Every structure is written in structure tokens, then in C-alpha cells.
Amino acid sequence: SLPELASGISAVAWLKAPNLAAGSILGSCLFNLALIAVMDLAYQPGRILAKAHDGHILSAGLGILMLGMVAMGVLIGSQYNRIGIPGFSLLSILLLVIYAFGGRMISTIEQARQTEVLDKEAAAEGYAHISARKAYLVFVFSALAVVGLGIWLASIGDRISATTGLSRSFVGNLFLAASTSLPEIAASLAAIRIGAIDMAIANVLGSNLFNIAILSVYDLADGSGNFWASLTEANGFAAVMTMMMTGVVIVSLMYRVSPKTPYRISWDGILLVAMYIGAIVMLYFLG
């Protein structure tokens, strides 16, 4: 989620485009959930959500809770801006608190299982020969490159909006979101390739949680104390659609039996793609 963090801070702090920043976050969440359908196609044995661990329901549920708060912030943002630390609203503080406690809950529940899973994945991928020092160095340099590109993407998105006449909310939800979600595509498909289904699903749902928490950072970077009140209804709609798509994921994780389709993609994958396309079409008209 580093691209979203870098591009959003750039959009808010320098371009003064909060709707572009929020759109990139919420659009990225939509895109990530639609990515599950792509993973469904890439996963040969069957429905990917039917094979995933039901512990992901906790991450998905926390996502719905945080998205509900974001949607409420868009609706009554002016009231939120008056409460909290100057320049940092109560909603932003609550989002960070929920993310921190939620992350702790997930870590506690999944720690033992994840240790076993990660050991198997490392052995399958053959990374045992890579030292920790080398891994950290590669990670740091890669992260810096991603941050630099994220800052550049924000200015490109603003130019697209100015040139085409499309709203910043729509440009953020579609173009900027798809661009900044490319690392999630690569990581998730790589996880599917080595059979690490739970890692792929956790990558999507965990990325969405972090993305939503990033909105709090945008509020702080905005500095005007008016971040939530400045968001348009298009971003509120995107938050609600993300909640609905996350609901589909929860149902699929709980209901393991699903009718077969004539194609390799499952019905829940088809529904996620249809909802994503419908959301983008509606965002175009709302923009």
C-alpha cells in the first residue's frame, strides 16, 4: 500500500486535491476485491474463497466497520472536523485506533498458523539461501522506488482530471487506484502460483485495512481541518460499494458450497467483477 500512501499525501499536501487522494484509496479497495476474481481464475483446483481459511472473516469484518465510518464521515464530515485535535478529526483518530487494535487481534489469532504457513511457503519458493540483511536491503530500496513513483502518479492523475474534465474523485477511483494496486496484483498472483492461498487473500484484505487507515494520514497531511467535509458523495458511494463487495467475500468464506459455472471463474468471482464494473459506471455519472 506504499503507492497509495505516497500518491495520496502528494495529492493532499501539494495538489490540494483531497478527492483525488480519497478516490485512489477507495478505488484501490474496490480494485483489490475485484482482484479476487482474477485469483479465482488463476487458481486451478476450484473456488479460491472456498479453500481459504475462515480466519479472514475477521479482517473483512474490520474492513466493513472502518468503511462504514468513512461513509459516515463523507455524509457528516463537517461535524467530525469540529471534534478532535486541531487539524486531525475524531474520525481519523478512531480509524487509527481501530486499525491498531484490529491488527493486534488478527496477529494474536493468526500468529501460530501463519508461522507454519510462512515456513512452508519459504521452502516452496526456495528463498532459504537469502540472508535477512539482503532481504531488508532489497525491501528498503524497493519501497523507496515505489514511494517515488507514487508521488509522480498523483501529479499525473491531476493532469488527467484537468485535461479530460473528469472529476478528481473518478480519476482517483479508476486510474490512480488501478495504477497503485499493481503491487497487490503481482504479490497475490505470485502467492497463488506457489499455492499460498491464505497469503493471497490476506494480502487483499490486509491491504484494504491499511488503505482505509491511510485516510487518517491524509487528514493530517491536509492541515486545513476540512478533509472529511471536502469529500464528495462519489467517494461515499465508493465506500458503500466496497462494504458490499467485502460482504460478498464474507459470505463466500462462510458458505463453502457454491453452484458451478460453465467457466473456470466462480459465481462469487463473477459477482465481484459485476459489482466493480457497476461501481465504476456509477462513479462516472456521480463524478
- Categorize the per-residue pLDDT at 196 as very low, low, confident or very high, splitting at 50, 70 and 90: confident
Instruction: Please report, for the chain, the start and end positions of each structural domain, with discontinuous segments joined by +.
Output: 2-286
CA pair distance 15, 17, nearest whole angstrom: 5
Please tell me the predicted confidence (pLDDT) of residue 115. Answer: 56
Please tell me the predicted confidence (pLDDT) of residue 17. Answer: 92
CA-only gyration radius of the chain, Å? 19
CA pair distance 74, 9, nearest whole angstrom: 19
Q: Residues 266-274: what's their mean pLDDT? A: 90
Q: Residue 204 contacts by C-beta under 8 Å, 6 or more apart in sequence?
A: 32, 33, 35, 36, 184, 188
Q: Residues 40-53: what's their mean pLDDT? A: 80
Q: Residues 38-63: what's their mean pLDDT? A: 86
Please write down the HEC assignment for all residues of the chain: CHHHHHHHHHHHHCCCCHHHHHHHHHHHHHHHHHHHHHHHHHCCCCCHHHHCCCCHHHHHHHHHHHHHHHHHHHHCHHHHHCCEECCEEHHHHHHHHHHHHHHHHHHHHHHHHHHHHHHHHHHHHCCCCCCHHHHHHHHHHHHHHHHHHHHHHHHHHHHHHHHHCCCHHHHHHHHHHHHHCHHHHHHHHHHHHCCCHHHHHHHHHHHHHHHHHHHHHHHHHHCCCCCHHHCCHHHHHHHHHHHHHHHHHHHHHHCCCCCCCCCCCCHHHHHHHHHHHHHHHHHHHHC
pLDDT tens-digit readout, 235-269: 999 999 999 999 999 999 988 666 556 666 788 88
Please tell me the predicted confidence (pLDDT) of residue 194. Answer: 83
- Categorize the per-residue pLDDT at 118 as very low, low, confident or very high, splitting at 50, 70 and 90: low
Pick the more confident residue, 90 or 139: 90
Pick the closest to residue 27 from 156, 270, 165, 212 (CA basis).
Answer: 212
Q: Among 28-42, 82-96, 234-248, whose mean pLDDT is lowest?
A: 82-96
Pick the more confident residue, 17 or 122: 17
- Categorize the per-residue pLDDT at 109 as very low, low, confident or very high, splitting at 50, 70 and 90: confident
Please tell me the predicted confidence (pLDDT) of residue 7. Answer: 86
- Categorize the per-residue pLDDT at 276 as very low, low, confident or very high, splitting at 50, 70 and 90: very high
CA pair distance 61, 22, nearest whole angstrom: 21
Residue keyed to cell 481464475: 41
- Categorize the per-residue pLDDT at 100 as very low, low, confident or very high, splitting at 50, 70 and 90: very high
Q: Residues 106-113: what's their mean pLDDT? A: 72
- Categorize the per-residue pLDDT at 182 as very low, low, confident or very high, splitting at 50, 70 and 90: confident
Pick the more confident residue, 73 or 118: 73
pLDDT beyond 70 at 94: yes
pLDDT beyond 90 at 216: yes
Provide the whole-model pTM.
0.87
Q: Residues 161-185: what's their mean pLDDT? A: 89
CA 215, 217, 218, 219 torsion-angle sign: positive
Q: Residues 79-89: what's their mean pLDDT? A: 70
Q: Residues 193-220: what's their mean pLDDT? A: 92
Q: Residues 76-80: what's their mean pLDDT? A: 70
Q: How many CA atoms lie within 13 A of 127 on its CB side?
A: 12
Residue keyed to cell 490540494: 16
Task: Give the chain's mean pLDDT.
Answer: 85
Pick the more confident residue, 77 or 66: 66
Domain 2-286 in this protein, CATH class: mainly alpha
